[in-house]
Copies of this chain bind each other. A is one copy, B any other.
Amino acid sequence: MSSDKVAVEAPETRTRILKAALHLLEASQGRGVRMSDIARRAGISRQALYLHFGTRAALLIATTYYLDELKGVDERLVPSRTARTGLERLDAFIEAWGGYIPEIYGMAKALLAMRDTDAAAAKAWDDRMQDVREGCEAAVGALNRDNMLSPDHSPDQATDILWTMLSVRNWEQLTIECGWPQERYIGTLKSLARRIFVSDGTSNR
């Protein structure tokens, strides 16, 4: 019925490619996914891939944006942004980002692997991480505004520490290498963050 242009039969090659890339990256934890694999799964020739994305890095980067859109990063951050207290904000942010990591892990891993060799990939990754850092900064700032930030750390340093704690690598090490279930990861990180950043004497539990 409703005709607009092509639709239905050909779901926009470009998005078919992105879906294929996403699926493969997820399935293989980001390791060993070649352009030809993605092409095959998208049902096109390897060369046609390059008609849409000039470079493996470009495809990977486009896939991250697609993924964000798909998973609704922004909405997930609403609880954090609307938190009333600094403590709530810290918890909400850890929950949101910490819960997002496993969903993007394959992508992240692949992009991270290119970071050392490809400048565009490096920039894309660093931009993303900068966003996360801003989230950390905001949480630390909220804590500070509540006079709850431990005097042991300046806001900047606290941001550095929180940002590092919440890195994809740390998630990987704790869940995949140490075998922690996701809930324990989230729970422990929340409690560690409180213990580290929230000043003593004032409610620690």
Contact = CB atoms under 8 A, between A and B. Distances in A.
B188 A196 contact: no
Nearest to A126: B177
A32 B178 CA distance: 31
Contacts of A117: 31-32
A13 interface: no
A165 to B, nearest CB: 8
A113 B191 CA distance: 32
A65 interface: no
Interface residues of A, number: 24
Contacts of A174: 160-161, 164
A169 B116 CA distance: 13
Nearest to A156: B178
Contacts of A109: 116
Contacts of A167: 169-170, 173
A174 B191 CA distance: 21
A152 interface: yes
A157 interface: yes
Q: Which of A109, A152, A164 has its CB near the most chain B CB atoms (within 10 A)?
A: A164
22 contacts: A31-B116, A109-B116, A113-B113, A113-B116, A152-B195, A160-B174, A160-B178, A160-B180, A161-B174, A161-B192, A163-B173, A163-B178, A164-B170, A164-B173, A167-B169, A167-B170, A169-B169, A169-B170, A170-B170, A192-B196, A195-B196, A196-B196
